[in-house]
């Protein structure tokens, strides 16, 4: 069953614990720059927005990759990559509309959320409930519309 991380920005306090546990899980070090989830901070507005790979239905990073490194896992619906084929051209980082594909500044390789193999640690440690791991089919339409309108309102308020 396809599951995704759902982000409720209104509940995010900007504590960045999700970034820390992600980097520990994947790299064994507590370094938010190496995390696959990032907290975008809008200080003046007091808004914290967790961003990660959304495992898009039609991922632009797959189409843009010149080596075929990125692919869609047919069984899980996850957008994954074969690091052996990656030339680190960073085209995927440029085309991702969510900023969910980034460069690990230490290893100098491309990283993105792999949903921790189906058990994301960021969700487990999110004390405010800003992150949830749910089946796509159970996402209520009104929740999606509410989240989208919240982002549009905040973007237009910035100007």
Reported as a single tens digit per residue, the pLDDT across 90-117 is: 999 999 999 999 999 999 999 999 999 9
Structural domain includes residue 131:
yes
Q: Which helix (H) or strand (E) segment is 146 a member of?
A: helix 141-158
Band (158; pLDDT cuts 50, 70, 90): low
3-state secondary structure of 48: strand
Instruction: Give the total number of structural domains in the chain.
Output: 1
Partners of 102 in the β-ladder: 111
Instruction: Work out whether strand 38-42 and strand 47-51 pair parallel, antiparallel, or are unpaired.
Output: antiparallel
Structural domain includes residue 148:
no
Band (144; pLDDT cuts 50, 70, 90): low
Structural domain includes residue 79:
no
pLDDT of residue 152: 66
3-state secondary structure of 93: helix
pTM, full prediction = 0.82
Structural domain includes residue 115:
yes
Domain hosting 111: range is: 3-55+98-140
Please report, for the domain that includes residue 35, its CATH number. 3.30.70
Range in 52-66, 72-86, 129-143 with the lowest mean pLDDT: 129-143
pLDDT of residue 88: 97
Structural domain includes residue 15:
yes
Structural domain includes residue 60:
no
Higher pLDDT, 108 or 57: 108
Q: Which helix (H) or strand (E) segment is 19 a member of?
A: helix 17-27
Structural domain includes residue 34:
yes
């Amino acid at each position: 069953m396809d599951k995704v991380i759902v982000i409720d920005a209104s509940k995010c306090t900007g504590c960045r614990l999700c970034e820390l546990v992600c980097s520990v899980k994947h790299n064994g070090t507590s370094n938010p720059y190496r995390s696959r989830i990032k907290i975008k901070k809008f200080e003046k507005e007091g808004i914290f927005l967790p961003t990660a790979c959304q495992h898009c239905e039609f991922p632009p990073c797959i189409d843009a990759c010149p080596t075929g490194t990125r692919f869609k896992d047919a069984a899980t619906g996850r957008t994954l990559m074969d690091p052996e084929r990656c030339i680190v051209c960073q085209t995927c980082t440029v085309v991702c509309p969510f900023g969910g594909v980034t460069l690990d500044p230490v290893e100098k390789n491309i990283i993105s959320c792999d949903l921790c193999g189906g058990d994301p640690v960021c969700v487990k440690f999110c004390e405010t409930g800003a992150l949830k791991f749910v089946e796509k089919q159970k996402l209520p339409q009104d929740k999606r519309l509410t989240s989208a309108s919240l982002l549009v309102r905040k973007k237009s308020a910035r100007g």
